Chains A and B, each alone.
Chain A
Amino acid sequence: MSDTTQNRAVWYEQRRNELLDLLEKANVLPIPEKYSVELSEAMRKCQENSFEITLVGEFAGGKSTTFNALCDGRDISPRGLGGGGIKTSAAVISAQNIAGDETKTLDDGTVLKEWAEVVFRTADDIILSLSTILRPVIQENEDLFKKLKAVHTEMSEDDFATSLCLDDNFTSLVNLDDERHRRILSRATDMLWERWMDIKKRQQMSPDDMDLMRIATLQLRFYGTPEYEELVSSPIMPIDQFQKLVAFPKDWLTRWKEGKEAEFSLEECAFIFLNSILVRIHSKNLHRLGCRITDCPGLFANAFDTERATKAIRHSDAIWYLINGEKMIGEKDLEIIRWISDKGLQGKIEATANLRGPHDQKIAEVLPVTQSVLETAGYKMEVFPYNARLAFLAMQGNLLLNRPEAFSDADYDNMLVDAKVKEGSAPDPEELWTKMVRRLGVSTEVAELEDCGELDSESVQFVRKHSYFDDILSSLEDSIIPKKSKSILIDNGSDRATKALLEYEGTLKNKEESALADVEQWQNKVNEARRQLNGFIKKSEMLVENSDLGSRKITELSRQIADNLIDLSIDDIFIDDLSTDIATVLVDINAKFYISEKTMKQEMNKRLAQKMHEEYSNALNRGISHWQWGTSYKTAAFLKFKVAELCRKIKDEWKNQRFDGSSLLAGFQPPEVSENEIIKMENSFCSGILDDRKSIAQLAEKMRPGWGRLIITIFTFGIPFITKRKTREERISGIADDVKQELKTIVLNREFLQDQAGPIANNLRDTNGLLTTIRKNLDEQLENLRTAFETRVDENEANLSKSTEERKRIAAENRTIRTESIEPLRKRIQAFQDTVFRELA
């Protein structure tokens, strides 16, 4: 461990303890609740000390090995034993060090020194994942459609059909705890399997869909069973128990070859019900980093894993990115990095190249190329060499050497598998260590490792050195500590406490002075302060209105976003899908006999409207997803900057008022948007504003300008072609081609698009949570300032009417509290803050 880094970590811990000490002192002072809430909140943040690093990389890229190395070499996250290449873990696992001797007591009285906290998927969560694959089946199948409709007697058929168009509505249509619903879903799954049994249809199913189909099958098989209830009843468990739950079933695919009857026990495939897991263990490495570390499934290996990895990445404070160091960076890694950068998270990446094969050659020849490819692609990041296997081996060495309590026989057996020791022969730790080091020495071509020899702390240290583990940890610390210091020691800690105390001091000082002042003098002072305050509020309101939070700007922005969304939604995919739908409807209608042309047209109108509605909703949803993962981040980052600028202006305005320490405004703080609030805005801006997909469905319903023309075109274009072709598929694709051409001229027309964007823009403007919350927050703060001021005036005025003696006593009392307890403490906290600032710089 390099000295500077260790010093930094120690420094941070020292400072954090110092702050905790100060805050503890503040918390025992008799302070009115208004201020003490702030103090205890600051203290809570400081105690939690939370910060999260997520390990990201391609499938089988060394993430779990690294995770376990960080857990001091214990096999916490299931990894490829004796090699890799097969998926081993299927859950998002986090680990956090246990500070001190915290324990957990289970219901039966067992005391756990280390434990895992499991968050299971909620029923809604499960339904959402089922929806992707089962909803379309129900939609297409008349029988299932009717059955599910029969459960919802309260809805009209049209309403029901409309809600069934969207994944997000599925949760309100399906209740997993109802036996009838489960039967319908099971039947839908069976139908997918029937499709799968036909080899031709099987080829048309995407690998992702099949993956989801398998998972859906198991979810429906086990949900609600007694074993399931037992599983979810105990979310806290010992370490060895949780490992069984997260391990990915052995020979997963091989066992599915037989079809839907494949046998799995719930214990084997519990991962389908897991959301995330937090493992609390004693670990030196985690203690050193002082944060939570998260191992998430490989990105882009399949849809199920990608979805969960995405969530984990978004919540993390830093990302440890593992590039395959065996060869130069490829398109896949670049794609993931681009994907992370698009979310504005590039600054969080700490990139390492996980070396496999000869170290010297990879570092000298491959790494520079990777570095330059990244640079050419526009990413400024330094890639550090690293060897996950060696890092893990060094930690294993420590375990062999020190045999801590947590090191079990099972761990030892795993090491034997790693070293490829023949079954039946169990070497002693010395021999095992030499064998493991030699093997890796040979493959890394680090000659010193090959004859590194005996198991002692020196050789362990040697392996550790060649893994570059400490270099990475130091570099991570270097980037973590300043961020953590800023957020925990300053923004949420000392700064927050100082502000609360300052305001209280102001109140005390006013009380003291008012108690001693004569009435007329006092009134003048009040008037002066009120005038200043009003001036300030007026000015601030103007600043807000003229900023990006002003109503004109919000309207403009809503329009911009709506245009953007429409551009992203109404695209070739939309046209393709819609024209196929239309063609299908036309062919199907034509194939049936209708009593009159009128009924036929009615039927056709109904079905076309439904299809259009559906495709439009799909397209909008697609557009929203694109937007959320793309432009929204950039816009949010820009707005964040603007909001910060606005706050700065308001603060300057406050400073311009220049009131002295005895003013009635002393100690008050100008309105400000907290970092938390901004982060919330950023998150909600990117995900929340249109999260309510139900409103999209309703919105889609309203979007009819221009649709009428479409339907007419379809009638004139569609029908003449119908009889000319032979098979159903041919007819559909033929008509679809014709319709597509026509649709393009109508749909990709500027005027038409603008018509579509209008209602979305209005909807956004009226309901959006992006800036209105912040705006409201600022308005409220201004209002609160006024109220706080008036309260202060009232409190003080009450004192004016009291006897001279009494007033003297009040003045003295307030003075004592202020000068003897509050002010000194506040000064100490401020001094602390100054020190931290200085030391950070």
Chain B
Amino acid sequence: MISVAIIGNFQIGKSSLVNALLQKNVSQTGNGLATTHRNRCHKLSPFVSLIDTPGLNANDKDNSTADKAVSSADVLVYVHESKMLGDETKRLEELIHKGKMILFLLNCKNREQWDPSDKQNQRIVQEIEAELELNGILDGFLRLGSTVVHPVNLKWALYGLGLLEQKENVKMPRYAKENLDIQTEIADSPQALRERMMQSSGFPAIREAILNLPYLLLHEAALNPEREIARFVAIFQTSFADSKLAG
């Protein structure tokens, strides 16, 4: 069983991701306030379990709770908003040096550029990938297709799944009309719009990837055995250091 910890700054969409993956509202999502303060495990499939973690950067207690989840996880899903990394590069470097494989999601929360396929988002993807490469850590990220940074809109995914609150459900068609070039007939049919938003959200591919993580990891390992060994050594060293500290 592979355990996947979902980490990132507070109010960035981690709990939304958990809900979308489980297709059920199990985690409370907030609207500007940090909501998750404990690590919670959820079983996604017989092979994959998810750990929803408290957001980083809100307070020390939440940070250290999330740290614990990181050490126990096999794979990390790092959720970031649609902007350059800034000093979060250092945080990612540390995680990579701990030997963690990371799936990098860019949750397009900014309503100015809500569509994951928006030009600005594409530029950000490109720049973040360049930054990871310039720092020599690009290899530590899980590659899906040709990219390692994956823009998604988790709110749209939740809407597509019918998991948004009633109030927000009502607003979504209006947003869609303004933000996406959607024909009126689609916008006016709830079912059609749901499907369309789900497609545009970029989420289905991510869900596929997370469900298939065991195979993906094997595949990665087969492609690049050397890196796999290096990663294993790093994991071993960190856990060794941890146990030494504990002892």
A, B in one complex: yes
Which residues of A, 67-93, contact B by the 8 Å Cβ criterion? Answer: 80, 82-87
A84 x B175 contact (CB < 8 A):
no
Q: Which B residue sits closest to A329, measured CB to CB?
A: B58
**B residues 107-132 touching A (CB-CB < 8 Å):** 109-114, 118-121, 123-124, 126-127, 129-131
Instruction: Give the contacting residue for B87; candidates A199, A300, A361; CB below 8 A.
Output: A300
CA distance A255 to B126 in the complex (A): 10
- Asked whether B179 is an interface residue with its Cβ less than 8 Å from the other chain, the reply is yes
Query: Does A207 contact B89, Cβ atoms closer than 8 Å?
Result: yes
Taking A327-B33, A330-B57, A438-B178 as contacts, is the C-beta distance between A298 and B86 under 8 angstroms?
A: yes
| Complex Cα spacing A420 to B136, Å | 35
Q: Are A326's CB and B32's CB within 8 A?
A: yes
Those 5 A-B pairs whose CB atoms lie nearest each other, nearest first: A85-B83, A202-B136, A83-B113, A366-B32, A443-B111
Decide if B127 touches A203 in the complex (CB within 8 Å). Answer: no
- Do the beta carbons of B127 and A252 come within 8 Å of each other? yes
**Contact indicator A86/B119 (Cβ below 8 Å):** no
User: Quick check: is A588 within 8 A (CB to CB) of the other chain?
Assistant: no
Do A254 and B126 touch across chains, with their CB atoms under 8 A apart? yes
Question: How far apart sit A709 and B126, CA to CA, in the bound complex (Å)?
Answer: 56
In the assembled complex, B147 has its CB within 8 A of some CB on chain A: no
Q: Does B31 contact A (CB under 8 A)?
A: yes
CB–CB B31/A365 < 8 A = yes
Contact B31–A60 (Cβ < 8 Å): no
Q: List 23 A-B contacts (CB under 8 A).
A: A80-B120, A84-B83, A84-B110, A85-B120, A85-B124, A86-B84, A200-B136, A207-B131, A251-B126, A254-B127, A256-B130, A257-B134, A300-B87, A302-B87, A328-B33, A331-B57, A331-B58, A332-B57, A356-B110, A438-B178, A442-B178, A443-B111, A443-B175
> Is A362 interfacial (CB 8 A cutoff)?
yes
**Known contacts A85-B110, A257-B130, A327-B11; A203 and B93 CB within 8 A of each other:** yes
Q: How far is the CA of A3 from the CA of B10 in the complex (A)?
A: 41
Is B97 an interface residue, CB under 8 A from the partner? Answer: yes
Q: Mark A543-569, 1 if CB is under 8 A from B, else 0.
A: 000000000000000000000000000
Interface of chain A residues 420 through 443 with chain B (CB within 8 A):
420, 438-439, 442-443
Q: Which residue of B lies closest to A438 (CB)?
A: B178
Interchain CA distance A369-B93 in the complex, whole Å: 32
In contact, B127 and A84 (Cβ under 8 angstroms) = no
Is B34 an interface residue when CB atoms closer than 8 A count as contact?
yes
Are B112 and A207 within 8 A (Cβ)? no
Q: In the complex the two chains form, what is the Cα distance from A361 to B82 in whole Å?
A: 22
In the assembled complex, the CB of B167 is this many whole angstroms from the nearest CB of chain A, namely: 10
| A210 in complex: contacting residue of B82, B87, B135, B174, CB < 8 Å | B135
Chain A residue at minimal CB-CB distance from B131: A253
Q: Is A357 an interface residue (CB 8 A)?
A: yes
- Assess whether B32 is in contact with A365, with CB atoms less than 8 Å apart: yes
A442 touches B110 (CB 8 A): no
Q: Which residues of A contact B131 (CB under 8 A)?
A: 207, 253
Residue B137 CB within 8 A of the other chain: yes
Given A86-B127, A365-B32, are A330 and B179 also a contact pair (CB < 8 Å)? Answer: no
How distant is B92 from chain A, measured CB to nearest CB, in Å? 10
Q: For A256, list chain B residues within 8 Å (CB).
A: 130, 134
Is A59 in the interface zone, CB < 8 Å from B?
yes
Across the interface, which residues of B come within 8 angstroms of A331, CB to CB? 57-59
B25 in the interface (beta carbon within 8 A)? no
List the B side residues contacting A300 at CB < 8 Å: 86-87
Complex contact B33–A389 (CB within 8 A): no
Minimum Cβ distance to chain B for residue A716 (Å): 29
Asked whether B127 lies within 8 Å of A253 as measured between CB atoms, the reply is yes
CA A443 to CA B10, docked complex, whole Å: 21
Residues of chain A lying within 8 A (CB to CB) of residue B113? 82-85
A362 vs B86: C-alpha distance in the bound complex, in angstroms? 25
CA of A80 to CA of B123, assembled, Å: 12
How far apart are the CA atoms of A365 and B89 in the complex, in Å? 31
B32 in contact with A328 (CB, 8 Å): yes
Residues of B within 8 A of A443 (CB): 111-112, 114, 175
Q: Is residue A301 within 8 Å, beta carbon to beta carbon, of the partner chain?
A: yes
Count of residues in B whose CB is under 8 Å from the partner chain: 48
Q: In the complex, A77 Cα to B133 Cα: how many Å?
A: 30
Report B-chain residues with C-beta under 8 Å of the C-beta of A332. 57
Q: Is A470 an interface residue (CB 8 A)?
A: no
A439 surroundings in chain B (CB, below 8 A): 178-179
- B135-A84 in contact (CB<8A): no
Residue A445 lies at the interface, judged by CB distance under 8 Å to chain B: yes
Q: Looking across the interface, which residue of chain B has its beta carbon closest to that of A200?
A: B136
Asked if residues B120 and A442 are in contact (CB atoms below 8 Å), the reply is no
Contacts of B90 in A (CB 8 A): 206-207
Closest to A81 in B: B120
Contact B119 A203 (CB under 8 A): no
CA distance A255 to B57 in the complex (A): 31
Contacts of A210 in B (CB 8 A): 134-135
**B residues within 8 Å of A by Cβ?**
9-11, 30-34, 57-59, 81-84, 86-87, 89-90, 93, 97, 109-114, 118-121, 123-124, 126-127, 129-131, 133-137, 171, 174-175, 178-179
Q: Which residues of A contact B59 (CB under 8 A)?
A: 331
B10 touching A330, Cβ below 8 Å: yes
Give Cα A5–Cα B190 distance, bound, in whole angstroms.
Answer: 49
Contact among B58, B86, B137 for A328, CB-based, below 8 A? B58
Given A301-B87, A331-B58, A439-B179, decide whether A365 and B33 contact each other with a Cβ distance below 8 A: yes
- Specify which of B34, B59, B87, B171 lies most central, judged by the most chain A CB atoms within 10 Å of its CB: B87
Partner of B135, one of A59, A200, A203, A389: A203
Which residues of chain B come closer than 8 Å to A80, judged between CB atoms? Answer: 120
Partner of B34, one of A203, A252, A257, A328: A328
Tell me which residues across on chain B come within 8 A of A420, comparing CB atoms: 118
Q: Are B111 and A330 in contact (CB under 8 A)?
A: no
Instruction: Select B112's contact among A202, A206, A366, A389, beta carbons within 8 Å.
Output: A389
**Contacting residues of chain A (221-254) with chain B, CB-CB under 8 angstroms:** 251-254
Q: Can you name the residue of chain B whose Cβ is closest to the Cβ of A253? A: B130
Contacts of A362 in B (CB 8 A): 32
For A86, list chain B residues within 8 Å (CB).
Answer: 83-84, 120, 123-124, 127
**A257 proximity list for chain B (CB < 8 A):** 130, 133-134
CB distance from A545 to the nearest CB of B (A): 49
In the bound assembly, the distance between CA atoms of A690 and B129 in angstroms comes to 43
CB distance from B192 to the nearest CB of A (A): 20
Which chain B residue lies CB-closest to A422?
B181
Determine which of A203, A326, A328 lies in contact with B136 in the assembled complex, contact meaning CB atoms within 8 Å.
A203
CB-based nearest A residue for B55: A330
Q: Mark A327-342, 1 if CB is under 8 A from B, else 0.
A: 1101110000000000
C-alpha gap A302/B88 in the complex (Å):
11
Most buried by A among B9, B32, B123, B131: B32
Residues of B within 8 A of A254 (CB): 126-127, 129-130
Do residues A82 and B119 form an inter-chain contact, with CB atoms below 8 A? yes
CB atoms of B97 and A366 under 8 A apart: no
Give the shortest distance, in Å, between A727 (CB) and chain B (any CB). 16
- Checking A82, A202, A356 against B120 with a beta-carbon cut-off of 8 angstroms, the contacting residue is A82
Question: How far does the alpha carbon of A80 sit from the alpha carbon of B171 in the complex, in Å?
Answer: 27
Bound-state CA distance A445–B134 (Å) is 40
A332 to B87, CA, bound (A): 10
Name the residue of chain A whose CB is nearest to the CB of B97. A203
Given contacts A82-B119, A83-B110, A254-B127, contact A301 B83 (CB under 8 A): no
Q: Give the one of B33, B121, B130, B136 with max A CB within 10 A.
A: B136
Within 8 A of B (CB), among A115-139: none
Interface residues in A339-389 (C-beta closer than 8 Å to B) = 356-357, 361-362, 365-366, 369, 389
What A residues does B97 contact at CB under 8 A? 203
Give the docked Cα–Cα distance between A443 and B34 (Å).
21
Q: Contacts of B109 on A, CB cut-off 8 Å?
A: 326
B32: which A residues are within 8 A, CB to CB?
A: 326-328, 357, 361-362, 365-366, 369
Return B46 CB to nearest CB of chain A, in Å.
Answer: 36
> Which residues does chain B contribute within 8 Å of A200, judged by CB atoms?
136
Contacts of B130 in A (CB 8 A): 251, 253-257
Q: Within the complex, what minimum Cβ distance (angstroms) separates A321 from chain B?
A: 18
